Amino acid sequence: MSEVTDDASSPVPAEEPGRQIVPLLAPRDGVPDVVTTAEGVAKAAAALSEGTGPLAVDAERASGFRYSARAYLVQLRREGAGTVLLDPIPTAADLAPLAEVINPLEWILHSADQDLPGLAEIGLAPATLFDTELAGRLAGFERVGLAAIVERTLGLELRKGHGAADWSKRPLPDSWLNYAALDVEVLVELRNVMAAELDEQGKSDWAAQEFEHIRLAGPPKPKADRWRRTSHITSLKTQRQLAGARSLWQAREDLARKRDVSPSRVLPDSAIIDAATKDPRSIEALRALPVFGGPRQRRHSRIWLQALEDARTLPDSELPPKTPPFTGPPPASRWARHDPDAAERLTAARAALAALGADVSVPVENLVTPELVRRLCWDWTTPADGEVEAAIDRVLDAGGARPWQRMLTVPVLASALLSAAEQKGSGGD
């Protein structure tokens, strides 16, 4: 049989004309009733305690509809215990029996970093973790969505469903619950297949380190100056206009948080930019702008007008700069002009890491974060003792790189930085 590869790491048999992908349309045990009471939680905990092996876990949020990242449905499945669909909203105060049973277990999730923070909010957190999406990345799979990996490894088709739906809606439609149950239906089997794949490639220890890093990472830290991510913010020409956009953005953020509504549903970015540009000074002028005259916006007119007034009266010393201040290296596109030597180091490092990634069949961003590479190359000074690898290892360790990542990348980065220095010394730049 001839072979083709759908990624850089793992050859897969060429698809034969007779090969069939089996649609996975319904859970084998049917869709269970949603647990909504303390009594239901206790029964679910008892059932799961009788199961064996790791626990398949998924959670549905309401991104794009709600401000919070809370879980609005939790799906659990364990061999010998079946599937549990849990509504964590009415049962939030009753989850201790469930946590006692499932928190000591290994959890299997797909893209665990998306769900773990919301689950931790309700007291649910794993003792150990297996992330099937991250396993796919480390195994060199080019397509690492759950449906793609399930189809490739198990020959099953998980059809696209309601992942982007408003899971805060009640009652949840039957078709959504069917979709939710299917998301954990084959995770245990998938975990075993992916563990075998990683073991065959000699990457089991790499994966274990990555899984533990994700498990302990906690929620991401908020980025500074998030208001600058407003769509078309660069169309604003003055610092005063930027101050108006910032003030409106913060007012929207406060209102969205209070109402637990997605900020874009409170006020679209386009309206923020329009108001910051035109700076209306009366309710009538504000409501004459697109969006602000609508029925949902009229009741908040005074909030938006006050935000603009606050920006208008700021002293010049408190206005935001036209460009955000750099807390690290400038954009790489500017390096050649500001520091040609650093630009050469970055070019050499990127090329070396790309070759390493191809060699071990791991995406470069999983070998070492691009931000850490940029910081290394921008701040680099050859150590006086000549111990280049030790100096690089210290930088990567301080930046959170795991041991397996440092083992692979430190020699490669050292060679790249030394090569860039030698080229400069020989006039090759």
Q: Which residue has the higher pLDDT, 401 or 3?
A: 401
Q: What's the confidence (pLDDT) of residue 8?
A: 36
Cα 111–Cα 114–Cα 116 angle in degrees, nearest 5: 100
Distance, in Å, from the CA atom of 331 to the CA atom of 328, rounded to the nearest integer, reads: 9
Residue 130 and residue 195 in contact, taking contact as beta carbons nearer than 8 Å: yes
Q: Average of pLDDT values for 244-253?
A: 98
User: Measured between alpha carbons, how far is residue 105 from residues 55, 75, 99, 255 in Å?
Assistant: 7, 15, 10, 39
* Count of CB atoms situated within 10 Å of the CB of 194: 24
Q: What's the confidence (pLDDT) of residue 429?
A: 42
Distance, in Å, from the CA atom of 74 to the CA atom of 167, rounded to the nearest integer, reads: 11
Q: Average of pLDDT values for 404-418?
A: 97
Average model confidence (pLDDT) across the chain? 92
Q: What's the confidence (pLDDT) of residue 19?
A: 63
pLDDT in tens, 121-174: 999 999 999 999 999 999 999 999 999 999 999 999 998 778 789 999 999 999
Distance, in Å, from the CA atom of 308 to the CA atom of 282, rounded to the nearest integer, reads: 10
pLDDT in tens, 51-107: 999 999 999 999 999 999 899 999 999 999 999 999 999 999 999 999 999 999 999
Residue 65 and residue 166 in contact, taking contact as beta carbons nearer than 8 Å: yes
Strand (E) or helix (H) holding 374: helix 370-379
Q: What's the confidence (pLDDT) of residue 14?
A: 35
Q: What's the confidence (pLDDT) of residue 13?
A: 39
Domains and CATH numbers, the chain: 3-217 (3.30.420.10), 226-318 (1.10.150.80), 332-425 (1.10.150.80)
Instruction: Look up residue 276 and give its two tokens.
Output: 């910051």
Q: What's the confidence (pLDDT) of residue 6?
A: 37
Residue 116 and residue 211 in contact, taking contact as beta carbons nearer than 8 Å: no
Q: Average of pLDDT values for 330-334?
A: 89
Nearest to 60 by CA among 30, 85, 96: 85
Max intra-chain CA distance, the chain: 76
